[in-house]
Amino acid sequence: MIFISLGQFLVKYDPNHIYPDHTLLTLHHNLCTTKLLTMKKLLLLAGIAAMIYACGGGTQQDNTASDEASSSASSSSTPTPADNPDGVGKFKDVQIPEKLDAALAEKGQSVYDVKCSSCHKLSDERLVGPGWKDVTKRNTAAWIMNFVTNVDEMLNTDPKAQAQLEICLVRMPNQNLSDEDARNVYEFMRKNDGVQ
Ligand code: HEC
């Protein structure tokens, strides 16, 4: 007599008993699928473990300690999106003067009028995408400039971008902004957020 565990079921199997064919078949089938499932789970676990190891780069403890602080320090190793407030793309650590550059903001406004206003309001109200009120307070300059020039990769990898996608349910289409336009639009967003 053997007891075989199938997930939460305990199946009694007596080798001396003559089972009708289909019972054995089912038993065999169940055994195979549980084995397969367990294998899949194991593989998945191994995969996750490998990923965590790879992303951590051997300094997992440091990375979890402080996201903001470690991302600037670890810029030489490839940072994961999760610990990178600037997102993914060509812009890193963009320095913006405190005072508004009115000329840039004006150019940014014309980009907004043509390419962005159909989906983004300047208030905090959502249209297709989130309203732009306080967008410069929610994200770093580099994050916004990376988002608008590298939107697909950002939506695929950046947790903040993905959180917005979950709310809006529409993927923002690539607007083909030049780096200069990205900077101009950012300045217009700052103006909208009250920078003078
Ligand atoms: C077709 C609609 C659409 C257009 C046009 C559009 N966006 Fe978006 N935008 C979205 C959506 C939707 C999101 C939220 C993320 C997602 O779901 O893809 C978003 C998110 C953003 C965000 C992040 C906002 C936040 O609060 O984190 C920025 C920045 C942004 N867009 C900038 C722009 C700029 C700049 C333009 C114009 C050059 C533009 N968008 C044009 C739909 C659009």
The whole-number pLDDT of residue 41 equals 55
Measured torsion, CA atoms of residues 162, 167, 169, 174, in degrees rounded to the nearest 10: -50
One DSSP character per residue, 121-158 reads: -SSS-BSSS---TTHHHHS-HHHHHHHHHSHHHHHHH-
Is the CB–ligand 1 distance for residue 31 below 6 Å? no
- Per-chain mean pLDDT for the chain: 76
pLDDT surpasses 80 at 154: yes
> Alpha-carbon torsion 51, 54, 59, 62, what sign?
negative
Distance CA 111, CA 46 (A): 47
Q: Count CB atoms within 10 A of the CB of residue 91.
A: 23
Q: Report the nearest-CA residue for atom 37 of ligand 1.
A: 116
Residue nearest (by alpha carbon) to ligand 1 atom 15: 165
Distance (angstroms) between ligand 1 centre and the Cα of 174 equals: 9
From the CA of 116, give the closest atom in ligand 1: 37
- The amino acid present at 1, given as its one-letter code, is M
Q: What is the reported pLDDT for 84?
A: 85
At 7-47, the pLDDT tens digits run 554 545 565 666 555 544 444 444 434 444 444 554 454 44
Q: Biggest alpha carbon distance in the chain?
A: 90
Q: Compute how many other C-beta atoms are within 10 angstroms of the C-beta atom of residue 144.
A: 24
Distance of alpha carbon 14 from alpha carbon 60, whole angstroms = 50
Residue to probe by mutation, ligand 1, list 104, 112, 116, most atoms within 8 Å of CB: 116
At 66-96, the pLDDT tens digits run 444 444 444 444 555 556 899 999 999 999 9
77: amino acid identity, one letter: S
Quickly name the fold that domain 81-192 has.
Cytochrome Bc1 Complex; Chain D, domain 2 (1.10.760)
Predicted pLDDT of residue 68? 43
Per-residue pLDDT at 30: 44
Confidence of residue 61 (pLDDT cuts 50, 70, 90): very low
Where along the chain do its domains lie?
A: 2-55, 81-192
Q: How far is the CA of 167 from the centre of ligand 1 (A)?
A: 12
Region 163-171: what's the mean pLDDT? Answer: 96
- Whole-number Å distance, alpha carbon 152 to ligand 1 midpoint, is 11
Question: Could you tell me if the CB of 117 is within 6 A of ligand 1?
Answer: no
